[in-house]
Amino acid sequence: MVKMLFKTILAAIATAELVSAVPVALPELFKRNITYTSGGDKLRGVNIGGWLVLEPWITPSIFQNVDQSLGIVDEFTLCQKLPYGASSILKNHWDNWATYSDFAKIKSAGFNLVRIPIGFWAYDNADTPFVQGAADYLDAAIDWSRQLGLKVIVDLHGAPGSQNGFDNSGQVMDSPRWMEDGGFQGGSSQRTLNIISIISQRYAQSSYDDVILGIELVNEPRGWTDGTSQDDLRKFYAEGFNRVRHSGATSVVMHDAFLHPASYNEFMTPEAPIMDHHYYQVFEDGLLYKTPQQHRQFACESATLYQNADKPVIIGEWTGAMTDCTPHLNGYNKGSRYEVMLYLKTSEEAERKKKKKFRHQEEEEEEEEEEAATVGPTPQIRRVHSSKSKTTVAIGDSSQDRFTNDLLEARENYLQSEAITEDWARAHTKQCYSQRTTRLREKASPDNRKMRGPNPHEIGTKEWMEEFDRRMGLKLPPLQDRPPEQEVPGETYKDWYDREGCKTEWDPLGFCMVEPDIGELAGSE
């Protein structure tokens, strides 16, 4: 696991890469200190995420340090619920989250591009609670980038009415509303275009040609449904392109609206805008159970698909994460898709087993009824009904039966409410984390192959933690692929992780595949 060097990389999860519409020879993979040229070098960049547009999963402390009863879940509600305090909170954040020093580290690490998200309210916050001030920090960041030789993509990350309903647009909504008031001709769409004009009039000028690589018209619009038609979106893109080019020759970047870059083939092809595709393997249910090898293969196969596009393509956001277990990634104080799938899978399996057991019990009851005169009354069976599944299961007296009942109730409660406590989020991050222990990817020791991870149903319980601590207290076996110099007589798994963490490639229990800190988890009670 590569240790992230600074907070902007942790926050960003995005390297941008220019992909030609026609296959060409690529430069050396890890070439450093490169500069961008339109016909040659690959772009390697970092998103300055969570800075000028808040996202709870990137900057959780801002949301955790306010009164939780206020229901603050995004930048909009932060400014709305704290009309007298939001300004100081945001200014402190803007002053400290990203600095010249961070940009210098980005440059020294070999990157040549930063993508900087900013919200519409930085330029026009009329009829909203949003606090202004971020535009000055964007100016500062562009100045730092110019001094360091970095290129910049200015990314309009939030549009009036929200282009996707996600917290990364500034305001959480059930569905995007930026085109609900008349589509492309509506007030919100036209207001967004006016913001693009303001940004372009400043940064598309020739005086910025040495630093501004492009202007992204809007980040991640949901363009396939939810009141945003492809026809309206394409009209918006065409007009947005014209607004930028009216001010200068700066490249225009257009997100593919969660479709595929090739979906826009023959649309504005002569104008050659850059298509932006965001690559995550955690937001689709079918991707969450892939093995690391399958994730790598999927990424390699996907790379060839971008060459089918008739325009240049950048991968403006991507991640190596294999679960969506990071707290708040799916919204503040909400659980993950991974956990929902686990609940569904385990509860459905429990229901199948119980239904089978129930059938056997019914058969036994029939036999007992025939002998009732001699053996006494038939035992009563307590039944629990699951309102979601409409199935009936029999619950006996064993601890496993009681747990199955609790699991079904937990599933019911989870599906009925999206409001999940911070304690729940922390506990279930551990649950996601523990799935790696059930696979135990050691390659040699028979003893290790026999080991199994703690029962995932019992994550967070006293029994589970005792089993976890017992596991961590086992002595490390002499694995064949373990470097001899790393062996310490009598060393336990916990000793290893406390000492080495994830600094080496050898990872006996697979803990370095996910986010939580092993020392913190191993010491939990």
Catalytic residue among 220, 339, 351, 442: 220
Q: Could you give the CA distance from residue 304 to residue 292 in angstroms, rounded to a whole number?
A: 19
How is 240-281 classified by DSSP, letter by letter? HHHHHHHH---EEEEE-TTS-GGGGTTSSTTT-PEEEEEE-S
**Which residue in the block uniquely carries the two structure tokens 């942790």?**
10
Model pLDDT, residue 301: 84
Q: How far is CA 124 from CA 132, 199, 244, 413, 421, in A?
A: 8, 11, 18, 41, 34
**pLDDT tens readout for residues 211-254:** 999 999 999 998 666 567 889 999 999 999 999 999 999 999 99
Whether 299 contacts 281, CB under 8 Å: yes
Q: Residue 176's closest CA among 111, 118, 136, 220?
A: 220
Residue 159 and residue 192 in contact, taking contact as beta carbons nearer than 8 Å: yes
Instruction: Give residues with Cβ within 8 angstroms of 191, minimum separation 6.
Output: 120, 124, 160
CA distance 354 to 361: 10
First to last CA, the chain: 26
Q: Which residues contact 78 (CB under 8 A, 6 or more apart)?
A: 54, 62, 63, 66, 72, 86, 89, 90
User: How do beta strands 18-19 and 313-318 pair?
Assistant: antiparallel
Per the residue annotation, which of 17, 75, 216, 317 is the catalytic one? Answer: 317
**pLDDT (0 to 100) of residue 505:** 52
Q: Which of 78, 45, 248 is CA-nearest to residue 155?
A: 45
Q: Closest Cα partner for 151 from 320, 314, 25, 319?
A: 314
For residue 388, what are the contacts with CB-CB under 8 A and spacing of at least 6?
411, 412, 415
Stated length of the chain: 525
pTM of the model: 0.62
Domain ranges of the chain: 11-332, 336-419, 440-525
Rg of the Cα trace of the chain? 27
Rounded to whole angstroms, how far apart are CA atoms 368 and 382? 17
- Going from the first residue of the chain to its last (525 residues), give the mean pLDDT of each consecutive group of 10, the final group possibly shorter: 31 36 32 42 90 93 89 95 94 96 95 97 97 98 98 97 93 89 91 98 96 97 74 95 95 93 94 93 77 85 83 90 76 66 53 59 61 42 32 32 43 43 46 42 34 40 55 61 61 68 54 38 34
Q: Distance (Å, rounded) from C-alpha 48 to C-alpha 26?
A: 26
Q: Please, which residues have CB within 8 angstroms of residue 393's CB and are 6 or more apart in sequence? A: 350, 351, 354, 355, 358, 383, 384, 386, 404, 408
- Please confirm, yes or no, whether 317 is among the known catalytic residues: yes
AA letter at 363: E
One-letter amino acid at 3 equals: K
pLDDT of residue 121: 98
Q: 459: alpha, beta or left, given left = phi > 0 and alpha = psi -120 to 50? A: beta
Domain 11-332: CATH class, spelled out: alpha beta
Known active-site residue 220: yes
